[in-house]
Amino acid sequence: MEPHTDRFAAAAAEERWAMVRSIVAGGALGDPGWRAAFEEVPRHLFVPYYYVAGGYDRLWCEDPDPVRRAQWLRGAYEDGALATRIKDGELISSSSQPSLMARMLEELDVRDGHRVLEIGAGSGYNAALLAHRLGDDAVTTVDLDPEITESARRHLDAAGYHPAVITGDGTRGWPRRSPYDRIIATCTLPCVPQSWLEQCVPGALILAPFATGLIMLRVREAAHGKYAEGRFLHTAAYFVPLRGSPVPPARRPHPRALPRRFGDNDLFRFLLALTEGSLDPREALSLWEREKRPERERFGITVRGGRQWAWLDDPEGPYVWPLPTV
């Protein structure tokens, strides 16, 4: 089955609709606008190749073996993340799990007329979904790597979408197209760049991976300037780290210092990642047990007055941990 035949197009559409049905069955895409975007934006155009088997095997749309081409197409529409760029053995770009993308886009709560800044262009697929919903002119996507932005532009053009694709430092946002009503990051943050707040309208939302969760911040105006505050969503999230300058180095917790039953617990690893540098693993374990193994939604982040901190239950309460700043 050749990649440019009517038969191939029909097979791709069938795979796409099956992916959407699976996402809907999992409880996402209740919004008709986002469902239409996932039904109509062809993900396979954004992943002409990707890596499997831990990066040792590449599936490719032009593979001369029809069996491997069919495997590539099926994988493009499976509900999983796809490794799209590996450098020196390290994953630097991927296409995120579609069901997670759907939940994040729905949580972003966009409205007609909203302007969105995406940090991390990746394959361009997420920008295409945003452009389908809001229009090309409303969407700006930024990535540090010129190879990533160039391939994202090609993919978007092939799919018929033309948002602004910028090669630049995502930690600085992109002030030329501000102000923004929404900022969404597709890479894990070590902290929240202050520049993002300055480029937002009051009331804007910022949704970003942080630690192993998703933080939703509301930007507000006060006498001392803009600040942001919000809680984590229930959803776990694992993304490649934000790259840029200056970015504090990613800190990796070491749960091996604890019994396996704690170190392998997803919620406890979230607490370790969130409090790394403030609590050692056993202090984190003591807090976790004392607070009856709190869910992600009990934690939040505040960015105010040149400072930012994580907290449990109350931003001014007894459990707060300083975060680095950019």
> d(Cα 214, Cα 38) in Å, to the nearest integer?
21
Q: With the C-alpha atoms ordered 222, 231, 196, 41, is the resulting torsion angle positive or negative?
A: negative
Catalytic-labelled residue, pool 96, 99, 123, 151: 96
Catalytic: 94?
A: no
Strand order in the sheet with 200-210: 164-167, 139-143, 116-119, 180-185, 200-210, 213-222, 225-236, 299-304, 307-312, 320-322
**What element of type H or E holds 160?**
none
For residues 315 and 322, give the distance between their C-alpha atoms in angstroms, rounded to a whole number: 11
H or E segment to which residue 58 belongs: strand 57-60
Under DSSP, is residue 1 helix (H, G, I), strand (E, B) or coil?
Answer: coil
CA 149, CA 142: separation in Å to the nearest integer?
A: 8
Closest CA to 151 of 202, 97, 92: 92
- The span from the CA of 101 to the CA of 59, in Å, is 22
Judged by DSSP in three states, 206 sits in strand
Q: Which residues are catalytic?
A: 96
